[in-house]
């Protein structure tokens, strides 16, 4: 990554969203923009923040959970999977905690922060201090992560 709490605004095309611009983890913002520019409807995304593969525990209304942190990923709508495949991605279904699928698919991203080393590199290349929660970065600051 980028560490937690560093974003860039991206224009999204999802007609069900009440906003057309959303903050996205900075190091994957260009790729999320690329997907939207190519008509892929994106939902939530996360760059992984350098923790892919590590174990974490959490709880929600459905119980106590233990699992692996995800690599850089975005959820897309089912009607976008063929477009995503044409762009070279291999989407797979997303299941909610209660076992429902609801036409949402995972897309593994090509950019983002798999290891903490990736985070460090991204901050260095983009001249962003290696600190969390810097908030929204200026639009003009182009990511070199793609
Ligand atoms: Zn990142
Ligand atoms: Zn994130």
Percentage above 90 pLDDT, the chain: 82
How far, in whole angstroms, is CA 32 from its chain's centroid? Answer: 7
Cα of 28 from ligand 2 centre, angstroms: 9
pTM for the structure as a whole? 0.89
CA distance 112 to 18: 26
| Ligand in nearest proximity to the CA of 50 | 1
Residue 28: per-residue pLDDT: 96
Any idea where the domains of the chain sit in the sequence?
6-136
The token pair that represents 13 in the structure block: 């095309």
Residue 141: per-residue pLDDT: 47
Cα of 4 from ligand 2 centre, angstroms: 6
Around ion ligand 1, residues with a beta carbon closer than 5 Å are 1-2, 25, 27, 47, 113
| Degrees, nearest 5: CA angle 48-50-1 | 75
pLDDT digits (tens, 9 = 90+) for 75-111: 999 999 999 999 999 999 999 888 888 899 999 999 9
CA distance 35 to 39: 6
Band the pLDDT of 142: cuts 50, 70, 90.
Answer: low
Q: If we measure between CA atoms, which residue out of 83, 88, 90 comes closest to residue 41? A: 83
Beta bridge partners of residue 115, listed in sequence order: 51
Band the pLDDT of 139: cuts 50, 70, 90.
Answer: low
| Ligand in nearest proximity to the CA of 27 | 1
């Amino acid at each position: 990554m980028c560490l937690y709490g560093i974003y860039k605004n991206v224009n999204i095309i999802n007609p069900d969203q009440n906003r057309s611009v959303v903050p996205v983890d900075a190091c994957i913002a260009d790729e999320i923009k690329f997907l939207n520019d190519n008509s892929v409807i994106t939902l939530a995304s996360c760059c992984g923040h350098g923790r892919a593969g590590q174990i974490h525990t959490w709880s929600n209304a459905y119980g106590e959970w233990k699992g692996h942190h995800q690599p850089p990923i975005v959820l897309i709508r089912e009607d976008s999977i063929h477009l995503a495949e044409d762009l070279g991605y291999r989407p797979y279904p997303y299941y909610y905690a209660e076992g429902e699928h609801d036409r949402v698919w995972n897309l593994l991203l090509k950019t983002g922060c798999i290891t903490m080393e990736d985070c460090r590199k991204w901050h260095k290349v983009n001249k962003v201090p290696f600190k969390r929660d810097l908030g929204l970065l200026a639009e003009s600051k182009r990511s070199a992560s793609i």
